[in-house]
Amino acid sequence: MPINILMPALSPTMEKGNLAKWLKKEGDKVKSGDVIAEIETDKATMEVEAVDEGTIAKILVAEGTADVPVNDVIAILAADGEDVKAAASGGGAPKAEAKPEPKAEAKSEAKPEPKAEAKQEAPKPAAAPAPAPAAAASNGARVFSSPLARRLAKEAGIDLGRINGTGPRGRVVAADVDKAKSGGALKAPAAGAAAASAGAVGAPAMSDQAILGLYEQGSYETVPHDSMRRTIAQRLTAATNSMPTFYLTVDCDLGKLSAAREEINAAAGKNAEGKPNYKLSVNDFVIKAMAIALQKIPEANVSWTEAAMLRHKHSDIGVAVALPFGLITPIIRSAEIKTISQISNEMKELAARAKAKKLKPHEYQGGASSVSNLGMFGIKDFTAVINPPQSSILAVGTGEERAVVRNGQIVAATMMSVTLSCDHRAIDGALGAELITAFKKLIENPVMMVV
């Protein structure tokens, strides 16, 4: 019996992915554990392994196909001893017929009897208010919706962006479009968009159509959002809308840390390739200091849920890595028990794989806090957005010489400003102050990190 190879869910939140590449072709034999394809999600490219043994009878989804829903059949596998051609025809046919199945209207139109009805109903789409609403939905809405819902909305001349989706994660489905036709399931309307396009102060966010109307055609290039950019937008919008956040800033003296770093790097030794065994950066010390600070203030090493507070036993620190196509925060697990050189080497390896989109979900999901460092760009200080379900993030500025007062004298010192963003649901003001004070003490006295 043919075996369906399904689009796998490579993380708990994955709903669809891009089939980047087939590593096996039709007619190839595979055994359990063989890598057969590469799937691209919003954050990484991952390999898919075969579960069963057999021969690839038919590939149903071509490589390069985007937004393939989880659990869709992507290929047919003929079991050992099974006729490959029979498996290909038998396994492929149901899939080809499965998609048109819900489109009852298309089936009825294909019958000879309703031809007269089709002729009578034909003027309806023509009578719909031009294609403008449909164009607005496809341009601007960029809402999650099923193919059937998009078709029905287009035929009815309804803007998808105004329909309240009831599917998974707000996805618009056919039933929502049916409700919208009768005036239900529509979002409170376009008055806000009209006000926004008129430039009203305090108006809701402008629609895509309104924004496009502000610019002359041909004066810009349209670059479609990729899945990573969409995910970043969704998660950080959710964080800023639902998470009450406050900020705490301190200045840290890097004098002792800079001296210790130079001494440690000088004593690093070289490997067989003649390269240093490690080269510590200020950011490596920052990660270690944040990890130990969370252990010293365990009440701040938490994640908020509506039912309970999750107090973490280890300090799993996310570190923001800038990519050409977005941002990702690989996590250093149990950073409090690792040496600074281990953290440094692990961070370099994670950053390299992040840039190649080779991270696995468990390597960038979870954690209780993160570090975002823009010091290398000369940024003095800034505030960072917390990445849910974490409860804090430390924004690190550049180390620079400043005039400071010591014992009544003005002297030059290398200082670094850091700002802690805290989720007020999980971390109160005094608790946040304890955490950033513990961090400051560790940074200014790096010997405490090895005690």
The predicted-structure confidence for 134-157, as pLDDT tens digits, reads as follows 333 444 445 777 777 777 777 777
pLDDT at residue 196 above 50? no
Residue 103: which pLDDT band, with cuts at 50, 70 and 90? very low
Residue 24 has pLDDT above 50, yes or no: yes
Radius of gyration of the chain (CA): 28
Strand order in the sheet with 317-319: 245-253, 409-423, 392-406, 369-373, 317-319, 331-332
The bridge status of strand 16-22 relative to strand 45-49 is unpaired
Give the whole-angstrom CA distance, residue 85 versus residue 284.
Answer: 57
Domain 231-450 sits in CATH 3.30.559.10: yes
Q: What is the CATH number of domain 124-216?
A: 4.10.320.10
| Omega cis (within 30) before 114 | no
- Could you tell me the pLDDT band of residue 183, with boundaries at 50, 70 and 90? low
Q: What are phi and psi of 119, to 5 degrees?
A: -65, -40
The residue ranges of DSSP E strands in 102-199, in sequence order, are none
Sheet holding 45-49, edge to edge: 45-49, 35-40, 16-22, 65-69
Angle formed by the axes of helices 255-266 and 282-296, nearest 10° = 120
Q: How far is CA 183 from the centre of its chain?
A: 34
pLDDT band at residue 217 using 50, 70 and 90 as cut-offs: confident
Closest-CA residue to 18 (of 79, 59, 77, 66): 66
Quick one: 33 exposed, middle or buried, by C-beta within 10 A (0-12, 13-18, 19+)? exposed
Beta bridge partners of 423: 245
pTM: 0.62
Tell the residue number behind the tokens 């600070």, with chain if given: 293
392 DSSP β-pair partners: 369, 422
Query: Reduced to 3 states, what is the DSSP secondary structure of residue 192?
Result: helix
Cβ-based burial of 425 (10 A; exposed 0-12, middle 13-18, buried ≥19):
middle
**Distance (Å, whole) CA 56 – CA 34:** 12
Contact 395, 418 (CB under 8 A): yes
Question: Which of the following CATH numbers is that of domain 3-98: 3.40.30.160, 2.40.50.100, 2.60.40.10, 3.30.428.10?
Answer: 2.40.50.100
Higher pLDDT, 225 or 343: 343
List all residues 6 or more positions away from 387 whose beta carbon is below 8 Å from its beta carbon. Answer: 235, 236, 239, 318, 329, 370, 393
Cα separation, 416 vs 410, in Å, equals: 17
Among 63, 76, 86, 60, smallest CA distance to 17 is for 63
Paired residues of 3 in beta bridges: 77
Share of residues in the chain with pLDDT > 70 (%): 81
Q: How far is CA 34 from CA 52, 54, 270, in A?
A: 9, 11, 38
What is the pairing mode between strands 369-373 and 317-319? parallel
For the chain, which residues make up each domain, given as ranges? 3-98, 124-216, 231-450
Task: Return the half-sphere exposure (C-beta side, CA atoms, 13 A cut-off) of residue 220.
Answer: 10
User: Two tokens at 141?
Assistant: 């809405």
**pLDDT band with cut points at 50, 70 and 90 for residue 119:** very low
Contact 273/265 with Cβ under 8 angstroms? no
Mean pLDDT of 212-217: 82
Length of the chain: 451
CB burial readout 11-25, b (16+ within 10 A) else e: beebebbbbbebebe
- Tell me whether residue 225 is one of the annotated catalytic residues: no
pLDDT at residue 305 above 50?
A: yes
- Is the pLDDT assigned to residue 58 strictly greater than 80? yes
Main-chain dihedrals φ then ψ at residue 406, nearest 5 degrees = -135, 125
Catalytic option among 225, 314, 362, 424: 424
Cα-based distances in Å from 73 to 4, 16, 33, 295: 6, 12, 19, 47
Q: Residue 38 has what DSSP assignment?
A: E
Tell me if the bond preceding 389 is cis, omega within 30° of 0.
Answer: yes
Q: How far apart are CA 151 and CA 50, in angstroms?
A: 35
Which range among 50-64, 182-196, 276-290, 431-445 shows the weakest confidence by mean pLDDT? 182-196
Report pLDDT for 167: 75
* % of the chain with per-residue pLDDT over 90: 41
The encoded tokens of residue 273 equal: 């390739």
